[in-house]
């Protein structure tokens, strides 16, 4: 977004909690109309910084200046009235009143009569402002519903509505898409970007997902997975000889090649089961090169392995719930929400919920393996030969499942020998031969290229 003059200045801010220094001489400036992102690992002090800017914490040193006025140490309600609004990392709405009343309370706080309980619904434009915001976030049909009955994603939308209802100039968003499904994240990113542009907002953003950062800022595409010059193998036997590729958010990318060319080895290396001898693997700005598989899974990558690897003695429900082991929030509410999502997109699994995994057909087992990583909330799914050994009818179903994942905003890297199936659903592709990428092109170019026929025999 285009930027104007400086609207927020943070100068030498430090904040201690006892002997713990959460912030140490932090300084930066944010320009009018800018989307300014604060990025860092958990515990780095990002939310503490937001709490200092919004007045929840007073700093031990330094100052905060907003639109030329020092606001250091002012109470949060004064700062809010000056034009700064904040969302919270953990959803913070009024659960026992309706959706419309939540937004109405926030909107009324900006009126001249704010503070008088009797005047709460007497400001003429409040209802119109409430309706406008609820329509923008697709919540108008839920206006009379108690906020506690909304899904997690809807509650996140509602919290942003509350912040916008106070008519801010500067909007602080603390991980606004945390806990959302990939589809919800994609929709929320677009809605925030559109509203920020329409209202001329300045946005200060904390976010781990770089596709959200780039989506809100409108700064073009970003690479979600980047593999650079990766060499790997088993024991002393080299398999990969400098593989490089990239995958962008929302894409389905095919990795094609005959048996024994190193495709599965690359998947294992990307997922942390093999450590590369040389080169780097990055996901959303995180270096995966030395991370363990479970740490990689918790960042948002899911693997659907060759031969599916479901637990045959466990029921479909138990297999699905194992997907939540990669999620920090294992609440009953999240379990219900993720199961509902899986059943919506994979209806046959609902009918077989209490059946052991071993009683499912090959195609149903593949569906279960994919659904398990959806349960984990994976934003990038690595799929290794999902059509292997399946009947033609189920192969078509796998193709449709990949298309549905794309529609939901999930990014897919698809290893597949069946080039026709892969190129029918993928946006781009790479051909691998003897541990090297030998050709890369769009799906259309790959379908028409003589190189594809030469290397793959199709």
pLDDT tens-digit map of 49-84: 999 999 999 999 999 999 999 999 899 999 998 999
pLDDT for residue 209 is more than 80 = no
Number of residues that this document lists for the chain: 458
pLDDT for residue 1 is more than 50 = no
Higher model confidence: residue 329 or residue 187?
187
Helix segments in 13-98, DSSP class H: 46-53, 76-82
pLDDT for residue 27 is more than 60 = yes
pLDDT in tens, 281-297: 999 878 999 999 999 99
Whether the Cβ atoms of residue 287 and residue 280 lie closer than 8 Å to each other: yes
In DSSP terms, 61 is beta-bridged to: 14
Total-model pTM: 0.61
3-state SS assignment for residue 131:
helix
Least Cα distance to 304 among 250, 382, 375, 216 occurs for 382
Q: In what order do the strands lie in the sheet with 61-66?
A: 20-31, 6-17, 61-66, 69-70
pLDDT in tens, 155-177: 888 998 998 888 899 999 988 88
Query: In sequence order, what are the residues at sequence separation of 6 or more whose Cβ sits closer than 8 angstroms to the Cβ of residue 239?
Result: 232, 233, 262, 265, 435
CA angle 378, 384, 387 (to 5 degrees): 110
pLDDT for residue 111 is more than 80 = no
Q: What are the sequence ranges of the domains in the chain? A: 6-217, 225-456
Other Cβ atoms within 10 Å of 422 Cβ, number: 25
Q: At what angle do helices 362-375 and 332-345 cross, to 10 degrees?
A: 140
Q: In the structure, what pLDDT confidence band is assigned to residue 224 with cuts at 50, 70 and 90?
A: confident
How high does pLDDT run on average in the chain?
86
Whether the Cβ atoms of residue 124 and residue 111 lie closer than 8 Å to each other: no
Query: In sequence order, what are the residues at sequence separation of 6 or more whose Cβ sits closer than 8 angstroms to the Cβ of residue 185?
Result: 177, 209, 211, 212, 379, 409
Question: What is the model's pLDDT at position 207?
Answer: 79
Say how many CA atoms lie within 13 Å of 95 toward its Cβ.
Answer: 6
pLDDT in tens, 392-449: 777 888 888 888 888 777 899 999 888 988 999 999 999 999 999 999 999 999 999 9
* Domain 225-456 classification at class level: alpha beta
Whole-number Å distance between alpha carbons of 287 and 289: 6
Cα–chain-centroid distance for residue 406?
13
pLDDT for residue 219 is more than 60 = no
Given CATH 3.40.50.300, say whether it is the number of domain 6-217. Answer: yes
Q: How far is CA 369 from CA 124, 316, 356, 359, 375, in A?
A: 54, 10, 14, 14, 10
């Amino acid at each position: 977004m285009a930027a104007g003059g400086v609207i927020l200045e943070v100068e030498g801010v430090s904040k201690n909690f006892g002997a713990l220094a959460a912030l140490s001489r932090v300084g930066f400036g944010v320009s009018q109309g800018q989307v300014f992102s604060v990025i860092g690992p958990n515990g780095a002090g990002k939310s503490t910084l937001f709490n200092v800017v919004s007045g929840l914490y007073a700093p031990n040193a330094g100052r905060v200046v907003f639109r030329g006025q020092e606001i250091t140490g002012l109470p949060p309600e004064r700062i809010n009235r000056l034009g700064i609004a904040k969302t919270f990392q953990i959803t913070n709405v009024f659960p026992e009143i309706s959706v419309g009343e939540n937004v109405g309370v926030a909107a009324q706080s900006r009126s001249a009569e704010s503070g008088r309980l009797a005047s709460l619904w007497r400001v003429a434009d409040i209802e119109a402002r409430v309706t406008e915001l609820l329509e923008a976030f697709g919540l108008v049909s839920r206006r009379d519903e108690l906020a506690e009955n909304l899904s997690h994603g809807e509650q996140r939308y509602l919290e942003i509505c509350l912040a916008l209802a106070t008519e801010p100039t500067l909007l602080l968003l603390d991980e606004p898409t945390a806990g959302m499904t990939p589809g919800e994240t994609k929709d929320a990113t677009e809605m925030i970007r559109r509203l920020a542009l329409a209202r001329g907002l300045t946005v200060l953003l904390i976010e781990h997902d770089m596709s959200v950062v780039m989506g809100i800022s409108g700064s073009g595409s970003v690479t979600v997975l980047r593999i650079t010059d990766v060499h790997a193998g088993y024991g002393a036997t080299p398999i990969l000889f400098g593989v490089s590729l990239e995958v962008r958010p929302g894409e389905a990318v095919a990795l094609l090649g005959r048996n024994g060319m190193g495709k599965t080895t690359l998947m294992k290396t990307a997922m942390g089961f093999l450590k590369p001898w040389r080169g780097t693997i990055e996901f959303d700005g995180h270096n995966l090169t030395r991370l363990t598989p479970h740490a990689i899974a918790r960042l948002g990558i899911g693997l659907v392995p060759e031969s599916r690897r479901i637990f045959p003695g466990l029921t479909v429900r138990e297999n699905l719930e194992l997907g939540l082991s990669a999620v920090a929030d294992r609440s009953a509410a999240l379990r219900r929400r993720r199961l509902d999502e899986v059943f919506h997109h994979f209806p046959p699994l609902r009918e077989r919920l209490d059946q052991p995994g071993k009683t499912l057909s090959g195609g149903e087992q593949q569906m279960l393996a994919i659904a398990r990583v959806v349960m984990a909330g994976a934003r990038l799914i690595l799929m290794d030969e999902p059509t292997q050994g399946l009947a033609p009818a189920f192969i078509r179903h796998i193709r449709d499942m990949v298309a549905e994942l794309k529609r939901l905003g999930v990014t897919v890297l698809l290893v597949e020998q069946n080039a026709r199936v892969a190129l029918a659903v993928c946006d781009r592709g790479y051909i691998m031969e003897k541990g090297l990428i030998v050709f890369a092109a769009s799906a259309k170019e790959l379908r028409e290229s003589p190189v594809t026929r030469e290397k793959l025999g199709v």
